[in-house]
Structure 1
Amino acid sequence: MAKGDRVTYDPAGVFLPGSAVSATQLTALAARLNAIRSDVTQDSVEAGEVSEPDSSLSACDCTFRELPERMLDDYVEHRQQSDLGRILQTARWIRDHVDRIVVVGDVGVLSGIRALLDACCEPYFNHLTRSQRGGRPRILLAGADLDNDAITGLITLLTEGRSPDLLDDRWALLLVDTPTTDLPTKLAGRHLLRSLRSFYRADSATVAEMDAPLILVMTTVNGVRDSDRSTGFRQTIPVPADLDEGFGTFSAVGLLPAAIVGMDIVRLLEGASTANDHFRTAPVGSNSVLDFVGVNHLWRTAGPTKACGMRIWATALHATARWYAQLRQQQMGRATTANGTDRDGHREASAAERASLHPVGAEDVLWTELLVTQCRCDPLMIGHLESDPDGLNPLADRSHPDLMSAAISETIRGHRQSGRPTGVLRLARLNEHTLGQVMQMAMLAVAVEQRFPFDKTGPDPPGGLGAKNWPDFADRFLYDFR
């Protein structure tokens, strides 16, 4: 991996003269952060370093942390017989036989899949022809709500005027079934399963050539095998039974849809492994995960009105930010959509907040700027128009990336000149490897942050550390999508 490919967090813009957070404070927090890191990595922790969790606020299981390395090692040793090998084989089968794949799962499952797709697929992937997509199927997501018209419209799209004998009309169903699968997901699965069986009618020549085009991803191996025998599904791939809810993106739940649309899931897992290595070995002060969590924790505990926020400058990462918000809210115990959070678990800054926070930001908000340095496509030049109807001819020699870079620089400069804190989370470029880093770092950050309220050695959040008050404290996180 080139050095420039590592995702970095730079808090230098937070440590301003007179700021509520200083580098010295972060250094003083190092012992607590190291103790929590040991807990997350399941290393031994000396007695007394971290308090036992409140029973009402149990910390998340960290099975997710070792999953990337476990899957990669298994793949190296067993290739096609490994979980990753079976995922790749199934993805190839789907690509060869259908032109649409419908993934049915709950909000948490779909938000992770959407993050993968938006970050690494072409922006209008589903609207491209099959040849433009390189023979990869379109991908559709369903099951997040009880909207009758949405599921009816999807079934109409998949079946009306279409024939299973034509490759461009064929579709498959990927059901993500976990112990926490909710009613909307089950209903969507039922309706789509019925429609699929009707679509692939018994007299179709296609049925003789391909098994029932269904894939069921379940939590336990035994459950998968039982379902496979009873329904005749094409193939089933188990998900680790001990994987905590919300952390399954790097299991078959996220990897299979990603592989179907052509993402390099090996590089994705390698990126996650890189993030693990950095988290495990880098000291506080140069550890992106621990520094990000530590700085934000220090800021929020500096006063009752302090809040943190993330400003996302790359459209392809909007879904990743929403996935992180949903995961964070879920793990912090947010069971409702109070305080303006939507069903994806994030609260976007209101128009009034945006007006007051940009370009220099509110004094009580610590913003983290999420940036991608290099664009994937060739830069679009502004260009010259003879009549200059929009008055942009003076910018004719500049490109879109030039203007984006100028906007980012001006925002950060405005913050720093006015003494308002800004951290920077930077990707040199956006690809499977850097996305794997970002998403694994986000999961590690949630695991670390969740353990802070159990440590009674530092300042309490406003209202104390009880389960009733902690969610409101944790909810003070804004998202600004540029």
Structure 2
Amino acid sequence: MKRVLELIDIPENKTIALQKQRSQEPNNDFHSDVFKEQNRLVLDVTYLFDSPEPTHLSRADIEVLIPRVLKAHQMLLNDEGDVRDGSIAMTGWRDLPEQISPEHLAELKNMAQELTDRIDVFVSLGIGGSYLGLEATFKALTHQYFNQLSREDRGGAPEIYFLGQNTDPDYFRDTLDMLARKRIGLNVISKSGTTLETAVAFRIVAQLVERNFGKKTKDLILVTTDRSKGALKSLAVQKEYRTLIVPENIGGRFSILTDVGLFGLAMAKIDIAEFTAGFRHMRQVTLSDEFWHNPALVHAAVRYAAWQKGKKIEVVATNATALYGVARWMEQLFPESEGQAGHGLWVSPGFFG
């Protein structure tokens, strides 16, 4: 007799319910040093060096750069070099993992739960750094068909959609079709409040919510923006929307560990305490000045040496559908950080089935 395959039979199952169950197992305690070391990111450069091709890299190409890389690393730690926007050093992301308090995480989770209890669908509105990191993390850590799961298998989370990242009318219209006759909650993310794509999407979806829910709208819309200024901040005060903060010393592409990312992940029932713990551990790893033990320094040196040898493109490829969003996020992270003066490698995301 043929047995029906149950989701529980598949070890990689990513329903929120099963993830919570597994997190209670002793071997999965994210506070333990063993768990952190076994699950941290590793950069493997084993096959990078000593190809017969004359334009390929050798270990010597990297070792000659070590003093220069270590100096640049120290400058970054000291807020020196090209790290400022006006008078503000845009390095707030560097120490953020140690600054996030359990109380703030609890506050975000409570806000997320209050909104979750009122809605069927959550829409995150943002573009660039206000979108890519959050979507990449969401897709990496949740079921590929998250919105098609039952609410129970989503751990009680609403359906989650992303808008405001482009002006494609077909995509927008099709997404609105999915929102029809549902209770909608919004979080609009924009530091300036004037980003065209996000502003247009917010106006349309906010009007839809207001038409359907009237005075209750202020409980269904959150605004994530500058602490004290900007068009969105003014609108939030006028409409009595609740607000979350984009820190002034953290650029959008580095904002995943701020309210920009954490609130959206909390809406998806992702454990934001475990998420931030991973950042704290990798922060310690990447603070090290032991070059070959610091993957950030090695990667920086490899990319620079490749650029010096005339390389133009870095291919970031995966065969995991869940991780393709991370590759797309990297396409923004590196060129936007390095490419302002025409320097650096172009990042080309790739998916190999």
Which residue does 2:304 correspond to in 1? 297
Which residue does 2:178 correspond to in 1? 157
Percent of residue pairs bearing the same amino acid type: 23
CA distance in 2, matches of 1:194, 1:55: 38
CA distance in 2, matches of 1:480, 1:23: 26
**Gap change, CA 1:131 and 1:9, over 3 Å in 2:** same
**Gap change, CA 1:171 and 1:291, over 3 Å in 2:** same
Give the residue type in structure 2 aligned to 1:149.
D
Q: Among 283, 286, 310, which residue is 2:293 paired with?
A: 286
TM-score computed with the length of structure 1 as normaliser: 0.60
CA distance in 2, matches of 1:297, 1:193: 45
SS at match of 1:285: helix
Structure 2 counterparts to residues 444-459 of structure 1, below 5 A:
none
**Gap change, CA 1:311 and 1:229, over 3 Å in 2:** closer
Which one has the bigger helix percentage? 2
* CA deviation string 1:426-479 (max 9, x = no partner): xxxxxxxxxxxxxxxxxxxxxxxxxxxxxxxxxxxxxxxxx3xx34x532x433
Q: Give yes or no for the alignment of 1:320 onto 2:326.
A: yes
CA contact (8 A) 1:102 1:174 kept: yes
Which residue does 1:32 correspond to in 2? 68
Greater RCO (Cα-Cα under 8 Å, separation 6 or more):
1
CA contact (8 A) 1:68 1:269 kept: yes
CA distance in 2, matches of 1:293, 1:264: 30
* CA deviation string 1:132-165 (max 9, x = no partner): 2121111111112223333333334323xx2xxx
SS at match of 2:245: coil
CA distance in 1, matches of 2:260, 2:84: 29
Which residue does 1:67 correspond to in 2? 96
CA distance in 1, matches of 2:67, 2:188: 44
Q: Give yes or no for the alignment of 1:474 onto 2:345.
A: yes
Which residue does 2:49 correspond to in 1? 15
Q: Give yes or no for the alignment of 1:192 onto 2:222.
A: no
CA contact (8 A) 2:253 2:333 kept: yes
CA distance in 1, matches of 2:133, 2:96: 16
SS at match of 1:310: strand
Which residue does 2:21 correspond to in 1? none
Q: Which structure is larger by alpha-carbon Rg, 1 or 2?
A: 1
CA contact (8 A) 1:218 1:237 kept: yes
CA contact (8 A) 2:116 2:157 kept: yes
CA contact (8 A) 1:26 1:285 kept: no
CA contact (8 A) 1:11 1:295 kept: no
**Gap change, CA 1:55 and 1:135, over 3 Å in 2:** closer
CA RMSD, aligned part only?
2.8
Structure 2 counterparts to residues 383-462 of structure 1, below 5 A:
none
Give the residue type in structure 1 aligned to 2:144.
P
CA contact (8 A) 2:185 2:220 kept: yes
Number of equivalences:
314
**Gap change, CA 1:42 and 1:258, over 3 Å in 2:** same
Which residue does 1:332 correspond to in 2? 338
Which residue does 1:405 correspond to in 2? none
Moved more, 247-256 or 180-189: 180-189
CA contact (8 A) 1:217 1:252 kept: yes
Q: Give yes or no for the alignment of 1:41 onto 2:82.
A: no
CA distance in 1, matches of 2:246, 2:219: 21
Which residue does 1:373 correspond to in 2? none
CA distance in 1, matches of 2:90, 2:321: 31
Which residue does 1:212 correspond to in 2? 219
**What 5-or-longer segments of structure 1 have no aligned partner?**
46-51, 163-168, 335-466
Which residue does 1:135 correspond to in 2? 156
Which residue does 2:189 correspond to in 1? 176
Q: Among 244, 249, 253, which residue is 1:246 paired with?
A: 253
Q: Give yes or no for the alignment of 1:6 onto 2:40.
A: yes
CA distance in 1, matches of 2:48, 2:325: 26
**Gap change, CA 1:54 and 1:239, over 3 Å in 2:** closer
